[in-house]
Amino acid sequence: MPSKYRGIKRFVFALAALAGLAQTPGDALAAASDWAAEEQVKVRLLAAGKTAAAETVKLGLEFDLQPGWKIYWRSPGDAGFPPAIDWTGSRNLASGEIAWPVPHRFSLFGLETFGYGDRVVLPIEARMENPGEALSLTAAVDYLICEEICIPYQANLSLDLPAGPESRSPEAFLIESFSRQVPGQGAERGLSIETAVLTGSVEAPVLAVTARSETPFSEPDLLVEGPPGFSFAKPEVTLSEGGLLAEIRVAASGVQEDQVLEGKQLTLTVTDGLRGLEQANIARFAELPEPEGLAPLALLGILGLALLGGLILNLMPCVLPVLSIKLLSIAEQGGRERRQIRASFLASAAGILFSFLVLASAAVALKSAGMAVGWGIQFQQPIFLSAMALVMALFAYNLMGFFEVPLPSFIGNLGAARPGKGGPDRGLLGNFGTGALATLLATPCSAPFLGTSVGFALSRGAWEIYLIFTALGIGLALPYLLVAAAPGLASWLPRPGQWMITLRRVLGLLLAGTAVWLLSVLAVQVGMVAALIAGGLLFGLGLVLWAGPNLMPKQRLATPAAAVVLALAALALPAGLRTESALRSDAALESAWRALDTAAIGALVRDGQVVFVDVTADWCITCQVNKKLVLETDTVTERLAGDDIVQMRGDWTLPSDAISAYLASFQRYGIPFNAVYGPGAPQGIALPELLTTDAVMAAISEAAAPAVAETATTEGGS
């Protein structure tokens, strides 16, 4: 217990003694029981009056503890139990309720407990059955005292108060002094709670409380009492406005994984020394305020960024497989009429825009349902990965000449248009599908300006989402629209010839490589065995398409039937064969990296550490590029290995509400995402999507600089 508060309590007891001496000799008899003494503590029962004159009688349970020993508050925390009184044997007593003064926090070996040391009086309000008659009290007090060891005791106390006119006892001042330390509504103590909401995620909620004081806070703390099965960590406290405002964050966790804190009753006790405020709350997640109207020029700026981000997305490695298909399409259109070329590229652009509108609709629906939204989150679903691997495999087999009429017929229309019979009309759906596929494969990539525009869109309303996603689609479709506007550009490529056969096979291998990459991501989600089975089925599909017509020339439906069975099996089996080993754990992280723990960042920064956060996923190609070209270079690796830096990595390969909430706190809804925290940047410095060594080193230097701020930060309790 802080020495200044121990001194205050001693002063209170001294005043009580003086008050007793000030009584007249006839009043000097104490209204108190005998002490029940043990080696470490003694306990007695007090009364504020010498008679039982009213309907309620003010009592007190006094503990006098040896130095270092403590008793517990009504909610002891991670260990212990509070004093309890059995009034059996009392006469003329209807009830006796304990009121609990502001406790002290004890932090030991990672355990957080609450209680009292030195001397304390627990005020008690006793209600009489028959007011005006004598009151006889018999109290069996069970309590636990702890130092390095804990000892349970029982004290048997008795006190008789005769009937008679109201009179004040020498102990009244002592009981009243501790009664004033019982947390109330706050106004009488100059305290108030302005906001109390949940942040973070359902799995890892963080209670954020803003408290205000009429006089500067000294050592604010927050004690949280919740439903059984929940524990609450030591709070992080930030003071501002000259110490008048305290922002308090407390991480919560449930004993069972499926326990949910939202909607549960909480009792919040804000303390500051001997002052306290108590308030009941229902745990609710913060609702984002309705976004204010956006100035037209600002909206135009965001749309410009979205257009540019979509255009740059064409240069990202995610879109390469689709561009390769379109490249072949351009080559195959040599000598075709301008209107046919224009129709082909307009169909591809329409496919891109249609897909972006579908993504926008999905984002609006998920937001309306209160679910997490983000750029590329469909790659967290095994069924999507299986479907994309199947489509990539079919494209690859088609380009390598395994089949000319793809099965089923819908997939056939996704091939590039071919001259000759069927003409361009038969290829329009295929070109539309090429554009749609370009959008789907672009979503695991993040380009410059893309994160800003997507983050803005997903933090706003439905019409902004549709508007900005449309601009992104136009940006991605610009190369196609350019060729549609100037079909003569297609004539720059050589005329169709033997070289195209080699090109088709090379591009087919590129698409097969994309299918293998998708299967590697699938392995993380469903397990290596399930992913290998899917790969084997896709390989078998290729063999059937290649050799089936020759092995079974008379059975015209045998090859299509076998291909359909293998394709459906490759699509559906992986999700059904998910294994426990596929579930990631923190131990899977490289030894140099810790799992992302947002609740620990503040404490690390206060200790002078720099925290480098990397949010990544196996399906995020831009993330892998950042690792190879920047994060794993000698310069950056050596700096991140410094004693003053803690590396944290959040893996978003699988869905995670905690990571989604963390990204949203920076108005980001896609990855890669990197941030650097430190004494010079306690709120974090967000880095661009495409990292550079200079940007990383500069952010680390800025974050490592000593803080120059007026805001005081301290940890709750003492």
**374: Cβ–Cβ under 8 A, 6 or more apart, which residues?**
458, 660, 663, 669, 670
Pick 550 or 124 by higher pLDDT. 124
Query: Is the Cβ–Cβ distance between 206 and 252 less than 8 Å?
Result: yes
Query: pLDDT at position 411, please?
Result: 40
Instruction: State the residue for tokens 């540019």.
Output: 308
169 and 104 in a common domain:
yes
45-104 pLDDT, tens digit each: 999 999 998 899 999 999 999 999 999 999 998 889 999 999 999 999 999 999 999 999
Q: Is residue 287 part of a domain?
A: no
Give Cα separations from 680 to 143, 245, 608, 631 (angstroms).
48, 22, 9, 22
> Last residue of a domain, which of 581, 616, 639?
581
3 state SS of 411: helix
354 and 267 in a common domain:
no
Q: Smallest Cα–Cα separation from 670: which of 374, 367, 256?
A: 374
Query: pLDDT at position 137, please?
Result: 96
DSSP secondary-structure letter at 711? -
Q: Considering its fold, how many domains does the chain have in total? A: 4
Instruction: CATH number of the domain at 635, please.
Output: 3.40.30.10
398-411 pLDDT, tens digit each: 767 776 544 334 44
Residue 32's pLDDT band (boundaries 50, 70, 90)? very high
Q: What percentage of the chain has pLDDT greater than the value 90? A: 29
Q: What is the DSSP code string of 11-28? A: HHHHHHHHHHHTS-GGG-
151 and 222 in a common domain:
no
Alpha-helix runs per DSSP H in 443-498: 450-458, 462-485
619-660 pLDDT, tens digit each: 777 788 888 889 989 899 999 988 889 999 988 887 777 787
592 and 554 in a common domain:
no
Q: Is residue 290 part of a domain?
A: no
70 and 172 in a common domain:
yes
Q: Is residue 620 part of a domain?
A: yes
Q: Smallest Cα–Cα separation from 688: which of 701, 706, 703, 670?
A: 670
Numbers of helices and strands, H then E, in the chain: 18, 25
* Residue 366: its H or E element: helix 338-368
Q: What is the DSSP code string of 620-648? A: -HHHHHHIIIIITSHHHHHHHTSTTEEEE
Q: Is residue 646 part of a domain?
A: yes
Q: Is the pLDDT of residue 3 over 80?
A: no
538-597 pLDDT, tens digit each: 888 888 888 876 776 666 677 778 888 888 888 887 766 665 444 444 444 456 788 888
Give Cα separations from 281 to 189, 269, 599 (angstroms).
20, 11, 22
Least confident range from 387-401, 496-510, 638-652: namely 496-510
161 and 238 in a common domain:
no
Instruction: CATH number of the domain at 271, please.
Output: 2.60.40.10
548 and 430 in a common domain:
yes
452-483 pLDDT, tens digit each: 666 666 666 678 788 888 888 898 888 888 87
* Residue 350: its H or E element: helix 338-368
Query: pLDDT at position 582, please?
Result: 47
81 and 51 in a common domain:
yes
> Last residue of a domain, which of 282, 305, 326?
282
Pick 88 or 3 by higher pLDDT. 88
Whether residue 672 is preceded by a cis peptide bond, meaning omega within 30 degrees of 0, is: yes
Pick 331 or 645 by higher pLDDT. 645
> Last residue of a domain, which of 118, 151, 179?
179
Alpha-helix runs per DSSP H in 153-229: 172-179
Query: pLDDT at position 713, please?
Result: 37
Q: Which two tokens stand for residue 147?
A: 């130092």
Query: Is the Cβ–Cβ distance between 444 and 379 less than 8 Å?
Result: yes
591 and 577 in a common domain:
no
267 and 249 in a common domain:
yes
Query: Is the Cβ–Cβ distance between 211 and 246 less than 8 Å?
Result: yes
Alpha-helix runs per DSSP H in 110-255: 172-179
Distance CA 616, CA 651 (A): 5
Distance CA 350, CA 429 (A): 10
CA–centroid distance for 451 within its chain: 19
What residues form DSSP beta bridges with 329? none
217 and 170 in a common domain:
no
Instruction: CATH number of the domain at 27, please.
Output: 2.60.40
Least confident range from 34-48, 124-138, 494-508, 604-618: namely 494-508
Distance CA 53, CA 32 (A): 16
Pick 445 or 24 by higher pLDDT. 445
What residues form DSSP beta bridges with 138? 158
Query: pLDDT at position 495, please?
Result: 59
Q: Is the four-CA dihedral 325, 327, 328, 330 of positive or negative sign?
A: positive
Query: Is the Cβ–Cβ distance between 670 and 376 less than 8 Å?
Result: yes
Range(s) of the domain holding residue 481: 296-581
Query: pLDDT at position 367, please?
Result: 62
Whether residue 408 is preceded by a cis peptide bond, meaning omega within 30 degrees of 0, is: yes
Residue burial 399-437, b: 16+ Cβ < 10 Å; e: rest = bbebbeebbeeebbbbbbbbeeeeebeebbbbbbbbbbb
Q: Is the pLDDT of residue 127 over 80?
A: yes
In this structure, what are the phi and psi dihedrals at residue 327, rounded to the nearest 5 degrees? -60, -45
**Average pLDDT score, the chain:** 78
Alpha-helix runs per DSSP H in 180-315: 296-313
Amino acid identity at 137: L
Residue 441's pLDDT band (boundaries 50, 70, 90)? low
3 state SS of 686: strand
**60: Cβ–Cβ under 8 A, 6 or more apart, which residues?**
45, 46, 47, 48, 121, 122, 123, 124, 171, 174, 175, 178
Q: Is the pLDDT of residue 156 over 50?
A: yes
Instruction: State the residue for tokens 């509400």.
Output: 657
Residue 7's pLDDT band (boundaries 50, 70, 90)? low
Q: Is residue 291 part of a domain?
A: no
Give Cα separations from 659 to 89, 174, 446, 655, 696 (angstroms).
58, 52, 17, 8, 21
Query: pLDDT at position 408, please?
Result: 39
Q: Is residue 289 part of a domain?
A: no
Distance CA 350, CA 341 (A): 14
214 and 350 in a common domain:
no
**707-712 long-range CB contacts below 8 Å, 24 or more apart?**
707/679, 707/680, 707/682, 708/680, 709/682, 711/238, 711/239, 711/240, 712/238, 712/239, 712/240, 712/243
Query: What is the mean pLDDT of the segment spanning 117-128?
Result: 95
Residue 710's pLDDT band (boundaries 50, 70, 90)? very low
